[in-house]
């Protein structure tokens, strides 16, 4: 799991530094799939 966490943290840092997203989430990881689906536009 160390490699997975390292990859996740690296990807998150890269996205924060290189892309203009206001809120970065990873469904199933940083937010549950249930919450993700509840917040999708219909």
User: Would you list the DSSP string of the chain?
Assistant: -HHHHHHHHHHHHHHHHHS--S----BTTTB-HHHHHHTS--
pLDDT at 13: 95
Residue with tokens 């999708």: 40
pLDDT at 36: 95
pTM above 0.75, yes or no: no
Q: Count of domains in the chain? A: 1
What does the buried/exposed string (b/e) look like for 2-24 if buried means 16 or more CB atoms within 10 Å of the residue's CB?
A: eeeeeeeeeeeeeeeeeeeeeee
Return phi, psi of residue 27, to 5°.
-55, 135
Range of the domain at 25: 1-38
Indicate if the pLDDT at residue 1 is higher than 90.
no
Spatial separation of the C-alpha atoms in residues 23 and 21, rounded to whole Å: 6
């Amino acid at each position: 799991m160390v490699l997975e966490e390292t990859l996740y943290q690296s990807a998150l840092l890269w996205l924060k530094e290189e892309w203009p997203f206001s809120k970065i989430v990873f469904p199933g990881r940083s937010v549950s799939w249930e919450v993700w689906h509840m917040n999708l536009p219909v």
